[in-house]
Amino acid sequence: MDAKSLRFRLEYLFFMAMVFALNCLPVRAAVRLADAVAWFLHKVVPKKLTRYDVAADNIRTAFGDALTEQQVDSIVHGMWQHLARMVVEVMQLQRRFRLYNCSEVLEFRQREECVQAMISGRPILFLGGHFGNWEVSVNTFGYFGFPMGVVARDLDNPWLHKWFLKFRESTGNSLISKQGASTELVQAMEAGRNVSLLCDQDAGRRGVFVDFFGKPASTYKSIALLALQHDALVVLGGAYRLPDDCQHNSRWRQFNLTTEAVIDSRDYQDADAVPQLTQAFTAALESLIRRAPEQYFWVHRRWKTPPREKKSKEQQQAA
């Protein structure tokens, strides 16, 4: 056994031990543990290791002078608290979240709009971002009998990859590897299937630049192109955690499963359809994030690629 295989096995054993331990804990104890981990990451671990400056700069970019430095710091702390709680929620999800208790775990905002889209007979692109608990969103639609192909990156550790593959497909969904996803996505859309993917990843120079919190952000054109070419509906939503009284009772956490926007690709048919459609779902994601900004992964470099500066006529002539 080589060193890499040994490391993968040890990582998997540690992960499974953590899954077992967390599933043995009651809700309040698990939440307190997650909050303690978040406090440690925010207050003890050097900021350079947690990329504090990246997160804080992104928050300032998004909200400008509307926030004080104390509020920026609070959002960063809330981000780590959210991510730590999300780890707990994912590991306890199969034990605590079932079809029969959906109404206790979820509030479904704009449910009718989403249901009408799902029964329209047209393929649907379910879009989300690095926001809220996306595993809850995906599992919920599987439980409701509307499975989808979920685009995700393969994990480097094959043991962990198998665990998450089984977890994500446990409610009827299927995993589409991000590597080579284009072919599978086209096949899924041609077959009239629904697919789910993130829409807030930097697309580099080849992307289309649209406003995200008032600043140009490179976004993949393929999402809009898929919707336009396959006459699809675009549903932008997510599941964000609601304030709860978990410290006073033993019920599991509750989420707002939100349909922020249902966008019809048929409304975008002119020469600027791709940037217009991309802007529409990006604006919807921004609106969703504003509901709970501490539940967005601000360490993610959304504005990594700056737009090219347009040359003036004088500069073009000089060139």
Provide the angle, in degrees to the nearest 10, between the axes of the packed helices 222-229 and 181-190.
20
Which token pair is 277?
């459609």
Q: Residue 231: which region, alpha, beta or left (left: phi > 0; alpha: psi -120 to 50)? A: left
- Among residues 22, 143, 176, 18, the alpha carbon closest in space to that of 89 is found at 22
pLDDT band, very low/low/confident/very high, at 316 (cuts 50, 70, 90): very low
Q: Give CA–CA dist 122/113, Å, rounded.
A: 14
- Residue 315: the pLDDT is 46
- Taking 90 as the threshold, does the pLDDT of residue 40 lie above it? yes
In whole angstroms, give the CA distance from residue 93 to residue 134: 12
DSSP 51-96: THHHHHHHHHHHHGGGS-HHHHHHHHHHHHHHHHHHHHHHHHHHHH
* pLDDT of 311 higher than 60: no
Report how far residue 214's alpha carbon sits from residue 204's, in angstroms, rounded to the nearest whole number.
18
Confidence at residue 3, expressed as pLDDT on a 0 to 100 scale: 86
Q: Does position 312 have pLDDT exceeding 70, yes or no?
A: no
Q: What's the confidence (pLDDT) of residue 171?
A: 84
The length of the chain in residues reads 319
Are 57 and 213 in contact by the 8 Å Cβ rule? The answer is no
pTM: 0.88
pLDDT for the residue 93: 83
For residue 105, which of 251, 211, 296, 277 has the smallest C-alpha distance?
Answer: 251
Tens digit of pLDDT for each residue in 262-272? 999 999 989 89
Mean pLDDT of the chain: 88
Average pLDDT, stretch 240-253? Answer: 62
Per-residue pLDDT at 251: 56
Query: Can you tell me the distance from the alpha carbon of 96 to that of 31, in angstroms, rounded to the nearest whole number?
Result: 14
Would you state the pLDDT for residue 152? Answer: 86
294 or 311: which leads in pLDDT: 294
Confidence of residue 135 (pLDDT cuts 50, 70, 90): confident
Residue 98: per-residue pLDDT: 79
CATH of domain 3-295: 3.40.1130
**Beta strands 233-241 and 174-177, pairing class:** unpaired
